[in-house]
Structure 1
Amino acid sequence: MSENATTETTEDRIDIARAAALMAAVDGAERDLTVGSALPPFAHHAFFWAALPEAALGRDGTPAPGQGGPVPDLGLPVRMYAGGQVRWHAPFRASIQAERVSRVTSITRKEGQSGALAFVTIRHDIRQRGQAVLSEDQTLVYRGAAGPGDPVTVTEEVDERRALKLTAVGLFRFSALTFNGHRIHYDADYARELGYPGLVVHAPLMAMHLALWAEERQGRLDRFAFRAVSPLYLGDVAWLCRAGNRYWVEGPKRRLCLTAEAG
C-alpha cells in the first residue's frame, strides 16, 4: 500500500477570529467565541493549512503530485473529494494549540469510465493539550480526467428539508478560509474546461451544512460520515434533506449530490 506514503505532523493555534469567520461564511451566524469555546463540526477544516508556494501547485490549484502532504505522486493529476468520516472524542476548542498527525491508510487503484482512478484515504488525528479531540478519515480520488459522471436520483422519502442557498461569494470565502485553491470552486472557465457546466460546490461545505443541522437536531455529534455522489453546481436549486439520522443534499430533478449519516 505504501507507494512511498509519508506521515505529516502540523501544529496550529486555533484562532478565534478565523473560526468566527468560517461560521459567518457558512451559515451567517455570529457566535460569541472565547478562549476554550467548543467549535461546531467541521471547524477544523479552517486550520492546519498546507501553505505551499504557487510554484508547488498543479494546474488545478491544489498541491502538485508529491508536493507536500502525506500523499505520494500517483501519476494522476486531478484531485477530487470523495467523502469522509469524522469522530469526535472531545470538543475541538478555540484558541488552544492543536497538533494534527496525518498519514495515508489506504491507496486503491481502479479503472473507471474515464480511465485510471486512485482512491486515497488519509487519517487525520487531532490533539489539544495532549488529549485526542477528533479523528477524520478523508477519502480523495485522483484521476487523469475530470467531468461529471451519470447522475443518481434520490428515491428515499423525506422527513424534513431545508433550502440550501449558495453564492459565488460564499464559495470563494469557504475556499479562502480552508486554504483550498482548487479552481473548480472559483474559476468557472476552468470548471467548464473539465466538462462541468459551472462552479462546483465543495463537498466539505455541503457536509458542514448537514452536520450543523444534525447537531441542531441531535446535540453534540460523536460521528459524522459522508460521501460525495454527484456534483452540485452554483446556481442549482438545492435542498438539505433528512430522514431519521440520514441526511443528504439534493439538487435539481432530485439529483443526489451528497449523503451523510450522523451519530
Structure 2
Amino acid sequence: MQDAAQTDQRQTDVMDPARAQALVVALGRADQIGAGDALPPFFHQIYFWDAQPPAQLGRDGHPRVGGLIPDMGLPRRMWAGGALEFLAPLRAGRQAEKVTRVEKTARKDGRTGPLGFVTLRHEIWQDGALCVSETQDLVYREDPDPSAPRPTPPSARDDATQVQDVSFDSTLLFRYSALTFNGHRIHYDLDYAKDVEGYQGLVVHGPLLAQLLMLMAQDAAPVQRFAFRATAPLMHFESAQFCRNGGDMWVRGPDGRQCMQATVA
C-alpha cells in the first residue's frame, strides 16, 4: 500500500427531506422524514451527487478515473466494503458538506489477475460539526475470462438469532441507482452486466445491502459504528436473508452463500 496525494474534493448539498422520503418508500418502509428530522444511518449516500457530462463517463457509467481516483488501467470497479462512524445526526432540510480524499492506493496480483485497490476517506459536516466519518474501499479488476472457473463464494453462518427475508427486483435497483445517482451499468443494463462483466443478472448494489443491514440494526438501537465487506454478488432475481447474531451481521444468498459480512455497534 502507498499513501495517495492529499487532494480534497469538497461538495455541498442540502439534505432534501423529499429525497430521503423517496428512499424510505423505495425500501418499503413506513418512516416519515421531514425538515429537521435526523436522517437514518447511511442516507448521506443519496446526496452529494458527482454529476458528470456523458463525455466524462467511462464505459461502465461511472465518472472516468484519472481525476480524484487514479487510473490503474483496470476497467471493472467494485465497492468492496467500508467502515462508518456516526458521530452526530445529519438533519434533513439543512446544508451539509462532504470532504473526500484518496487515502491510499495499491496494485497487486491476485488469483484472477491484477487488482487495483483504492481507499477513500469521506467526512460529512453539518452546522460546524463532523457528523459522519467513512472509509470506502474500491477494487478495480480486469474483464472476466469466460473460460475461467467461477470463484467459490464463502458459505454464510447458520447461527443467526434474527433473520429478515428480503426480495429484490430490477425496479428497486433502478430506483436506488437513481436516488444515489449511480450510473454503474451492472445495476440496470442486463446485457452489459452479463456480456461485458460476466454476471448472471443485474447486480444488487453493495451499499444497498449495507443500507438494509444498517436499518435492521437501527430498528433495535442507534447505530454508532458499522463496517462491512462484500464477499459475493447477489442478483436482482434472488431473495436473501439478512442475519444478525450480536454485533455480527451478514447477508445469506438463496444457495447459502455469504454475500456480505458486517459488524455493528
TM-score range, shorter chain: over 0.9
1:40 match: 40
Letter in 2 for 1:128: Q
With structure 1 as the length reference, what TM-score do the two structures score? Answer: 0.94
CA contact (8 A) 1:245 1:262 kept: yes
Q: Does 1:101 align with 2:99?
A: yes
CA distance in 2, matches of 1:146, 1:231: 14
Q: Does 1:205 align with 2:208?
A: yes
CA contact (8 A) 2:4 2:103 kept: no
Q: Does 1:118 align with 2:108?
A: no
Deviation of residue 243 (structure 1)? 1.2
Does the C-alpha gap of structure 1 residues 132 and 47 become closer, same or farther in structure 2, counting only changes over 3 Å? same
CA distance in 1, matches of 2:157, 2:225: 25
- Segment drifting more, 153-162 vs 86-95: 153-162
- The 5-angstrom pairing of residues 18-97 of structure 1 reads 18-26=19-27, 28-67=28-67, 70-97=68-95
**Superimposed CA distance per residue, residues 180-211 of structure 1 (whole angstroms, 9 cap, x where no aligned partner):** 00010011111111211111100000000000
CA distance in 2, matches of 1:135, 1:3: 18
CA contact (8 A) 1:5 1:72 kept: no
CA distance in 2, matches of 1:64, 1:75: 11
Q: Does 1:233 align with 2:235?
A: yes
With structure 2 as the length reference, what TM-score do the two structures score? Answer: 0.93
Letter in 2 for 1:42: F
CA distance in 1, matches of 2:137, 2:151: 18
CA contact (8 A) 2:4 2:102 kept: no
Deviation of residue 62 (structure 1)? 0.7
Letter in 1 for 2:143: A
CA contact (8 A) 1:6 1:71 kept: no
1:13 match: 14
CA distance in 2, matches of 1:3, 1:161: 40
CA distance in 1, matches of 2:14, 2:4: 32
CA distance in 1, matches of 2:143, 2:54: 22
CA distance in 2, matches of 1:85, 1:4: 21
- Segment drifting more, 225-234 vs 144-153: 144-153
CA contact (8 A) 1:114 1:145 kept: no
**Superimposed CA distance per residue, residues 120-172 of structure 1 (whole angstroms, 9 cap, x where no aligned partner):** 11010010011110011010101222586321112341212111111211000
Letter in 1 for 2:206: A
Deviation of residue 108 (structure 1)? 2.2
Unaligned runs of 5+ in 1: none
CA contact (8 A) 1:78 1:146 kept: no
Does the C-alpha gap of structure 1 residues 56 and 157 become closer, same or farther in structure 2, counting only changes over 3 Å? same
SS in 1 for 2:255: helix
1:246 match: 248
CA distance in 1, matches of 2:9, 2:3: 14
CA distance in 2, matches of 1:113, 1:53: 36
Letter in 2 for 1:34: G
2:181 match: 179
**Superimposed CA distance per residue, residues 205-253 of structure 1 (whole angstroms, 9 cap, x where no aligned partner):** 0000000000112x21110110000000111231111111211110022
CA contact (8 A) 2:4 2:104 kept: no
**Percent identity among equivalent residues?**
47
CA distance in 2, matches of 1:179, 1:146: 26
Q: How many residues align?
A: 259
